């Protein structure tokens, strides 16, 4: 996928309208610090399209980028940000759930759930997987940071994530080493 244009179209939060244009949505979600911004940036070949969720000082919103005037890349907030106050964490969780339950998106929405390959699925990841299954979302799971694994551990760790993520497909990925980008691109293009 050659990225020819990226435009920030909207920053929305709970209760706002989401952009009405009839583009597909590819929505990225994951635990805070899982490398979501890095995955988005490597996918779009941009240095800083998505700012790290740990960046201080700006209001956390759901950001809609129009890619190639063809689909919306939706940057959902990271969940479980340890340094955030309980109130802020709740607000972000509600915002994610608000987007996921927004009416009439099912047919044009792909959720890309990012899990840390080294850490494996956490309780929060499991809760998110359960929610996505309950909502019958179309999901692809990215196991990011595989470069951090010892060669001998890759198979075992990926197998564990595949089991947790069932029935969703899992793409071994490294934003750092640009591993898995073609596989993810293929999923997005063929959505
Ligand atoms: P976000 O909070 O989920 O948006 O995560 P960031 O993209 O800001 O990444 C969090 C940290 O993980 C940063 O220090 C990144 O450099 C690091 N990181 C992200 N992707 C990878 C990866 O594939 N491999 C390694 N080793 N580190 C990564």
Compute, in degrees rounded to 10, the torsion defined by CA atoms 72, 1, 190, 19.
Answer: 10
Query: Looking at ligand 1, which atom is closest to the CA of residue 179?
Result: 23
pLDDT computed for residue 94 by the predictor? 92
pLDDT computed for residue 138 by the predictor? 96
Cis? peptide before 61, omega within 30° of 0? no
pLDDT computed for residue 148 by the predictor? 98
- pTM of the predicted model as reported, rounded to 2 decimal places: 0.94
Centre of ligand 1 to C-alpha 129, Å, is 21
What is the block-wise mean pLDDT of the chain (191 residues), using blocks of 10 residues?
Answer: 88 92 95 94 83 61 94 92 79 93 91 98 96 96 98 95 97 97 93 76
186: closest CA among 26, 57, 23? 26
Among protein residues, the one with the nearest Cα to ligand 1's atom 24 is 145
Binding-site residues, ligand 1, Cβ < 6 A? 30, 32-38, 52-54, 78, 144-145, 147-148, 174-176
């Amino acid at each position: 996928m050659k990225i020819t244009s990226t435009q920030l179209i909207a920053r929305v939060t709970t209760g706002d309208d989401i952009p009405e244009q009839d583009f597909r949505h590819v929505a990225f979600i994951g635990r805070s610090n899982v490398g979501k911004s890095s995955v988005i940036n490597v996918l779009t070949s941009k240095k800083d399209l998505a700012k790290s969720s740990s960046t201080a000082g700006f209001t956390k919103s759901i950001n809609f980028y129009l890619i190639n005037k063809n689909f919306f890349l939706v940057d959902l907030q990271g969940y479980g940000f340890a340094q955030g106050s309980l109130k802020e964490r709740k607000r972000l969780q509600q915002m994610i759930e608000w987007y996921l339950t927004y009416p009439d998106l099912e047919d044009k929405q792909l959720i890309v759930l990012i899990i840390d390959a080294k850490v494996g699925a956490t309780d929060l990841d499991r809760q998110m997987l359960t929610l996505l299954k309950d909502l019958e979302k179309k999901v692809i799971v990215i196991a990011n940071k595989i470069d951090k694994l010892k060669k001998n551990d890759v198979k075992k760790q990926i197998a564990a994530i595949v089991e947790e993520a069932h029935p969703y497909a899992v793409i071994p990925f490294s934003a750092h080493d640009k591993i898995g980008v073609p596989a993810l691109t293929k999923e997005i293009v063929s959505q």
